[in-house]
Structure 1
Amino acid sequence: MRYFTIVMIFPCLLAAIEQGPETRRQEVIRAVTQEVLLDVVVRDHKGRLIRDLRPEEIEVYDDGVRQKLTSFRLVTGSDVAGLGSEAPSSPKRLDPMRHLRLVSLVYEGLDNEARRLARGASMDFLKDTLEQNLYVAVFVIGERLHVLQPFTNDLVQLRKAVERATTSPYPQFVAEAQAIRKQLEAMEAEGGAATEAVSTNIPGRGRSDTGGIAGASTSAIMAQMTLNMLNFEETLTRAQQSRSSLFSLVSLVKEQVALPGRKTVIYFTRGLEVPENTIELLKSTISAANRSGVSVYGVDARGLTLDAQNSSRQQSVEGASVTPEQVRVFDTGMSSIHANTQQALGNLSVSTGGFLVANTNDFREPLQHVHEELLTYYEASYMPQITEYDGKFHRLSVKVNRPDTRVQSRSGYFALPANQDSLFTYEFPLLRALSLSPPPGDLSYYTGAVRLGQQGGKTRYSLVIEVPLKELKVTEEKDKRRYRTRFSFLVLLKDREGQIVERFSRDFPFEVPSDRLQEFSKRSFLQAYYVTLPPGRYTLESAIMDQEGEKTGIRRVSLMVLAPRPGIGISSISLVRRTDPGTAEPDPEDSFRFQNSRIVPTLENQVQFAPERGFSFYFVVYPSSTDSSKPQLLMELSKDGTPIGTARPDLPAANERSEIPYVASFPMANLQPGQYELRAVVRQGASSSEEKTVFTINP
């Protein structure tokens, strides 16, 4: 199943956790009242932490409006407030459900020299005994997100994981990560009393040092959280039908909302690539981090780089960390920043309350600062005065009324209601449009479900959305000799009870050269998603928004999934818009592959009359595996209810998937404008199946 998980984007808003009768009231209040909780780090001009700020010295602004703080306190590694009284001679123990510190060491795309630098920095970070309730995990981002060591305080196992992450070839640690994932899945399947027993089989699971139910609960939640990260990243990759480092990062930070405390991602990479079509994903990653209370510290592991583009922007770096002011250009120079991988990494870091480490081969001092900020920071909270949840970004700023200070905090949040289950900010107005009555209909497009084959008592479908690009408003950029446009869509598949069983969304910016605008306007955008559904009644809801033209369209389509029948089968019949060349590595799930090409269908079901041309339909025949006789095909074409022709072409042999993809082509010379019906009947032995489609030939 492909779900987008619920995300409410308030920075550091702690989710209530089911902890039994001793649950701390503070976490419940934060989740229920939507209080904004900011973690703030303040240093002096020499980079030393300031620990004696008074409430009257700090000011928090939400969209330029000063807020009244409901609380302000210094949090330190020795903070044991709220733990109850203990004998003076008893060792102080931290509450694992309140004072947790999590560190995710993440490695991606490192060459040999970058691996060496990252390994040295990580080993230095792990050289001393970890503080109480400080847990570290090791991840690698390759083609997917992989965990090499779940959260633990076992330094021996952590050092081994870092060594593997920075020395092993990719296939080797993929196999290790898969083994760890299976153990995490076993923990999830066992659940309850078996959790602690199974967890001891994972190297370096560690202890909470608190014992009892709280320790076991923390261990179980961290294990489940890690598995959720992997599952969500996999789901997001499939649903978005693309690959980005940001998918892994957003999965890492989003799932950490399950636990309170100080949470940090140290991201070793060679820069962060953010193409134009992933800008919204970057914003969503920042928002998810702020929602979950995660700070990202980007480490450009290239060390001292001679890259002219990067170095020209980083000349004034002190202590190898980049200040917020050095990435504020993000607000005014988005295109240049996204072309600059180091600047994009810096924006991700600063916007989540961390900082960028770059242009140095010595990471010891900046990572020492990271360690300090894990243990010592301020918490400031306030109630936002939001009158309308409009999905707009609220910029946050924190000012300290003390000279020569530097403040690290989060950049802001999106004003979404508590029950808003959106990950991407562009989804909010689409969900709101789906709730309007009457629904908006300013934008014309098509959506439908193409029935495919049967799989184990279920039926496979392709959910298709088609947008004629001529419906979109384009804005001219004369200085760049191009036009721009952008649209977003959301698709929800709901069952009979109205529950969402599948969810897909995308945001597409386009840049069209001026001399190709006419060609662009004649084309249609088409996106397909594959689902496998049990029998039942469903509703396919979709919303699309033209961001430039501020137009919205809504479609709702009923879908009845029947129980699979034995014998030969046939898919829905699709009118072919065009045929594209096949790819070197075709998608094995793609049911529109035909020989060495790919069929691009259309839901419009209309063709323009042209006697010299023809048109084609595409469908797939599914022979019975229990019948050795050859399948037979009968096609019948009717106009206005009257049959005008039949054909019995031979079907080719089935392909490697035991399917027979088929293209039926018709000349238009002997046809006239009007409404037609194509009926296809397939037979094999005693079984048969048929499918119909209606289409129009326009004058």
Structure 2
Amino acid sequence: MRLHKTPRIPKPAKRRGASPIAFWLTFSFLFLFYFIHPWFILAQEEPPQFKPKHEISVTLKLIQVYVTDSKGQPLTDLEKEDFEVFDNGQRKNLTEFEKHLHSFLLPPESEKASEIATRETEPASRKFFLFFDFVYNNPKGLRATRKAALHFLDNIIQANDEIGIITYSLEGGLAVREYLSRDHGKIRRFVEAIGLKDYQGSVENLEARYWQQATEENPLDVSQRGGVGAGIWSKPEKDPIMDSPNVSEEMKRAFMTSENRVQALTFLREMTKLSKALGYLPGIKHLILFSSGIPYSLIYGIQTEDKSGGTWRQDWGQTQLQYYLDDMQKAISHANLVVYAFDTEDSVARINQDLRLTGILTLGKIADYSGGKYFGNIHNYTRGLEEVQKITGCYYVLGYYVDAQWDGQYHEVKVRVNRPKTRVYAQKGYFNPKPFKDLTALEKQLHLVDLCLSEKPLLQEPLALESGGFSFYEKGKENLILWTRLVREEMAKLAGNKLELLFVIFDKEDSIAALERRKIKLSSLPETEAGTVYFSPPFELPAGTYRGRVVMRNLDTGRSALGSSDLALGSEQPGELALGLPALLTAGQISEHDNSPLFFPPGWNRYALVSPRLKTGTEEFYALLTCSSPAGHSPELEFKSVLIQSRDGRAETIGSELQPLSSRHEAGRLSCLVRLKTRPLEPGLYHIYFHTTDKTTGARAARSLSLTVTD
């Protein structure tokens, strides 16, 4: 077997103000995806004499490192020469180095602060996950947890920090309740709801709706489980074993140990899966873990003297639990998750207790392996969180080249600093990537969450989908329809025939307002440049602002395309004239259509639906307008429009002419295709205001549409 190794990529020249790390993050991903991914390899024409079974390529590996002195103060003056990195025991040549220093660590109004501020790179944001463990916890610890989390939100996080929420409970298992977000108010509402009321996060909302579409089943809604921490406060029913007088104490102890082992195994296994999934998010993630931990003796056993019998009890623990703990630690390290464990157990109750019977050693082991730290008393959360603030306020990024293979193998990483009395916080290792088809269901789900919820998806650079939305009124209530155009030649870049199409609508809280999923085969798309326009079913939604997402995803490779639009719906208009959100069209190639609305006017399909963007110089475009009217009334409608350009903070009216072309009238609704003519449009932002008047009653309605004109 011959191994093909591509030559090392030459280091590009730096542009002024550009970060080499950011450049390589983007370039490495694109390089890996297009030149290593199995579907691309199969597509290449190889010479007959050379057909390698495995491909190896060179890519840049980035490690984020925190360094403190013996007093826990971050070291801010280290240079590349102060670091040594070993990957699987082999010392690596550091080719990239960056120092990031948050401004809150700088002494105010000092010469040193000014000097550092001008020399170092200010980090854009930090990524934190608040992890609430409702199983290995207690009521008193949970109350302190809630206070600590609120203090963290009020005093530690910065405006640009991204926060997510993870929970673990008996009923809900391990779940990402909120994805990384800068909407700190949404995170606060979740924390305030702990133990008080039901709360469903946007991630689990998306997951439940997705699987309902995928399996055509109605999954158990999280809100039906009793809310956050359900089961922790409820009184257990009578246990046939533990409450029976006929069962010996030894049997009861064995039963309890067995139950605890199952719970520990479940936690370790699920945390491993989640960590591997989070590993696909670039950069370091800080995990603030609120838990009392799995008892150390449950995993590694305990050897104590049995005073009643004068012998020693020899319990060497559970090999299976030890294996899963080791696997979880590797997954956490690979994910660049730094764990800061806040012990929620009552420290007073532990005074005379063997530490091996508690979770102290387990929490400390997990935190230390990840490069984080253990904090022993949740009630001292103020001091602990301030230390987290210091540690995360300054970090270094070290980069070196590795031979990247898609085999999922684990690499051990060691980072040394050539300074005495220092402590280094860095990931202990990482896994090589795997093809999308080999990812777990959780990893694929996180991939979808990232696509739908991120302002800019982190896990990949999706292709662009042209998409948009429009609305109509039905019995006084507004209904929203999303659409997207799929062109076979473009979708072929997703490299596969097994595709899924998702229409997702988020409200202003980033909760799922509506979701529709369907499967599509690439071979079913026509071989035309205009492609096919797909429509979602109508979604009846209350007044408010919404974000529409259209996702096309290859279920074998994970390659995706994404379209996004911002939409605003009005209030109910029962028995009144109401104008729906217009759709924009242009003259051009005629597309085929799938599931198009029946109420569209004749001839509309001679034009092309477009997102609210037009090309510079456009003089003519079209709009679909839908009006509702009181039942039993046949309105005589007159349409007018006003086109306004926003320029330098001023509004300038642009002369335009509206001409109705065709219409369709049915009970309570009239749809109309109109043409707008204007002077050649210059680049910029425009607003179109549509007005309609019923000549028979004098009733009026209006709606606006924003559009962008670009070259």
Q: TM-score range by the shorter chain?
A: 0.3 to 0.5
The one of the two structures with greater contact order (alpha-carbon pairs below 8 A, sep at least 6) is: 1
TM-score, normalised relative to structure 2: 0.38
TM-score, normalised relative to structure 1: 0.39
